[in-house]
Amino acid sequence: MKLISERPYSDPEAAARKLIELAMGIEAVQDGRIHIEKINAPFLSKLKASGPEFGAGIKHAINQGWLELHESGTYVRLLTPGSLLGG
């Protein structure tokens, strides 16, 4: 009997892809900036993901070259929109 259900975003790549999907649905402000809370809030509250899953997803997206995180941590930029979710 399985007592704990699988967490869909425990895999950093799955979390990163979902974060990119969320970011692509948000209208960027000045210079393509997307405020981090615009992707953090739905990821944590609506999708019921955890903080560590969010962090791992952001790190994976940065390492893949999909996102750029500003040094302040307050916003991200999509680096290669459109071609990210295909593979």
Place of tokens 């649905």: 25
- List the beta bridge partners of residue 33: 29
Entry pTM: 0.86
Residue 26: burial class (beta carbons within 10 Å; 0-12, 13-18, 19+): middle
Residue with the two structure tokens 């040094």:
71
Q: How confident is the model at residue 1 (pLDDT cuts 50, 70, 90)?
A: low
**Residue 9 near residue 18, CB atoms below 8 Å:** yes
The domains found in the chain, sorted by start residue, are 12-78 (1.10.10)
Per-residue confidence (pLDDT) for residue 17, from 0 to 100: 95
d(CA 79, CA 77): 6
DSSP helix/strand/coil, 76: strand
Does the pLDDT at position 9 exceed 90?
A: yes
